[in-house]
Amino acid sequence: MKKHHGQSPRLFLHSCLTSQVFPHPGAFLIPYLIALVFEGLPLLYLEMAIGQRLRMGSIGVWTSISPFLGGVGIASMAVSFLVSLFYNTILAWVLWYFFHSFQDPLPWSQCPLNDNSTAYNQECVDSTPVNYFWYRQTLNITPDIEISGSLQWTMVICLATAWCVVYICFIRGIETIGKVVYVTATFPYLVLTIFLIQSLTLPGSTDGLIYLFTPDWNVLKNPQVWLDAATQIFFSLSLAFGGLIAFSSYNPEKNNCQRDAVLVGVINSITSIYAAIPIFSILGFKATNNYNSCRMSNILSLTNYLEIGDQNMTVDNYEQMLEHLNITRPNEVADVKLRSCVLQNFLDQSASGTGLAFIVFTEAVIEMPGSQVWAVLFFVMLFSLGLSSMFGNMEGILTPIRDLKLVPTWIPSELVTAGVCLISFLVALVFTLGSGNYWLEIFNSYVGSVPLLIIAFFELIGVIYFYGMQKFSDDILFMTGKRPNIFWRVCWRFISPLYLLVVFLAYVVIQAQQHPQYPAWNPDYVKSPPNAMASVPTSTTAMISKHNNGSRNYENFRL
């Protein structure tokens, strides 16, 4: 297949960076950085180098190295296709929230009226307006995965719009992407900077930053944390998807791929930390609000039950007054059934994944002055980042299709791209069902973890032991003017494969010890909570249950 050999290296680097900057920072910086150095950067360098040298997509590269490795390319293509399904579903949700961000007040800031317009919707009152807008008005979610529900046509329209945008960006191939990424790569940095300045002025932001940068050494003993860090590296650097190999095939043969790999990896990590600061500042702000609300609820209960004057007990002297009452009136205080108000617990209970964007951040935006402006900026940024992430996934699908000549050459590339987008849209319709969010969470948990570990492991084995370390080093000498140093060679041959193998075995052990479960929205939970939860005030209990092997176990979530 003919490649665009004149492709600008800077444009290539820009395209790669926009696949990496979808911020998903975690509180595990130490394992993340270790995984970056010994897993991420070596694999990133390897994929860029092999794609640039062999000038093909993922399937073509691995088939040319050995017919036995053709399955690695097919697996990369399959994972890219599957991941693109739920990535674009998230973009559909972002569009839905974006369209509603222009309303005043924001629709998730207050409960809607009931059918008779005589009171607020009871399901919303029992939960929170933010939760209700997400679970009921956006997803119209079913009680469990066994009840599929019907297609949510508003989500179908948003999903179709998202795929149309992706098609427009790919209509002219890499040239169109090159123009789009200059916007999608730079605009998020501008919005993140604006959010950074605003978030640092919020009360409680300092607590969020302390929470981010304070390592919990006990947590690091948990193998799941290291598995999460390794998996995060794959998504963060778009490794094993095939997109990087495809992008590299457009690069000039004499391009310095080692420089590109290091720059992309370092800039990605800096961006993740930079994005983590406003994110955790806002999480600290929300946790502080929940913490103060918890204490105010306890103050109200104490003043009513113990007949304490309204002015005697405040948030500022709550701890001292509570300690005094526990000494002077312990039996009466015990009868009040006070809630546990610990700031650390509220920080620990912050939502993640889709909950982070569509529950935590939307609730935090409500508290900001000019909330509509912040909501619009936030969801435009999310759409920009999500669209950028789609570029690598789609290129990991389209390039192998062209390389393998799966469609006749007389069919225009625009029509091939349209066909892929249409098929993807039709398959992704399952996520617009009432049970779609359950399927998406399960899909996300399994599609983007173990398959990537296995693909990356065989990529290393294929290049180092099938293609040959000496031949690969000679290729890098031809492309960059110097051979890879001892660090890269040791990582490729020993450290990186061993790291991936250990992470994979840890994953198998963890999965063998756990029972599959998923969070489910249960509108009847607050009306008749189990006895163990009866003492929890219903106004602060999220209506979420966990389903495990067909039985229903209820667990309280702070959202």
Please report, in tens digits, the pLDDT of each residue of the chain (559 residues total).
445 444 445 445 444 444 443 333 344 678 888 999 999 999 999 999 999 999 988 999 999 999 999 999 999 999 999 999 989 999 999 999 999 999 989 999 999 888 887 888 888 888 889 989 999 999 999 988 888 899 999 999 999 999 999 999 887 666 667 667 777 777 888 888 888 898 898 899 999 888 888 877 777 777 777 777 887 888 888 899 998 998 899 899 999 999 999 999 998 888 888 888 888 888 888 889 889 888 888 888 888 887 776 557 777 888 888 888 888 888 888 888 888 888 888 887 765 556 667 887 888 888 778 899 999 998 998 898 888 888 888 989 998 888 888 888 889 989 999 999 999 999 999 999 999 999 988 887 788 778 999 999 999 999 999 999 999 999 999 999 999 999 999 999 999 999 999 988 888 888 788 776 766 776 665 443 333 332 333 332 333 333 443 333 323 333 3
Residue 120's SS3 state is: strand
Residue 111 and residue 134 in one domain? yes
Are 437 and 543 part of one and the same domain? Answer: no
Q: Which of 246, 231, 181, 236 lies closest to 48, judged by CA?
A: 246
Distance between CA atoms of residues 171 and 174, nearest Å: 9
340 and 409 both lie in a single domain: yes
Cis amide linkage into residue 203, ω under 30° from 0 = no
For residue 201, being part of any structural domain is answered with: yes
**Are residue 447 and residue 558 in the same domain, yes or no?**
no
Same-domain status, 434 and 509: yes
Residues 535, 458 contacting (CB under 8 angstroms) = no
Listed residues 499, 514, 529: the one ending a domain: 514
Using alpha carbons, select from 1, 60, 57, 9 the residue that is nearest to residue 253: 9
* Number of structural domains the chain divides into: 2
- The answer to the question of residue 1 being in a domain is no
Q: Which of 514, 532, 548 is the last residue of a domain?
A: 514
Q: List the domain range (segments joined by +) for residue 551.
A: 518-559
SS3 255: coil
Q: What is the pTM of this model?
A: 0.83
Report yes or no on 4 lying in a domain: no
C-alpha 7/C-alpha 250 separation (Å) is 6
Sheet containing 551-554, strands listed edge to edge, beginning at the edge strand earlier in sequence: 517-521, 544-548, 551-554
Cβ-based neighbours of 505, under 8 Å, separated by 6 or more? none
Q: Name the residue among 549, 485, 558, 556 with its Cα closest to residue 144.
A: 549
Residues 201 and 246 in one domain: yes
Residues 73 and 54 in one domain: yes
The answer to whether residue 252 sits within a structural domain is yes
Task: Look up residue 518 and give its amino acid.
Answer: Y
Alpha-carbon distances of 308 from 135, 339, 536, rounded to whole Å? 39, 18, 22
Residues 526 and 494 in one domain: no
Torsion of CA 197, 202, 203, 206, to 10 degrees: -30
- In order, the DSSP letters of 535-552 are TS-GGG---EEEEETTEE
Element (H, E) at 553: strand 551-554
- For residue 550, with 0-12 CB atoms within 10 Å meaning exposed, 13-18 middle and 19 or more buried, which class applies? exposed
Give me the DSSP letters along 11-64: HHHHHHHHHH------S-HHHHHHHIIIIIHHHHHHHHHHHHHH-S-HHHHHHH
Tally of CB atoms within 10 A around 315: 12
341 lies in some domain:
yes
Asked if 20 and 153 sit in the same domain, the reply is: yes
- CATH code, 306: 1.20.1740
User: Is there a domain that residue 3 lies in?
Assistant: no
**H or E segment at 554?**
strand 551-554
Residues 43 and 186 in one domain: yes
- Same domain as 305, residue 331: yes
Establish if 2 belongs to a structural domain. no
Do 65 and 86 have their domain in common?
yes
Question: Who contacts 137 (Cβ-Cβ below 8 Å, separation ≥6)?
Answer: 107, 112
Q: What single string gives the DSSP state of each residue in 492-522?
A: IIIIHHHHHHHHHHHHHHHHHHS--EEEEE-
Residue 56 lies in a domain: yes
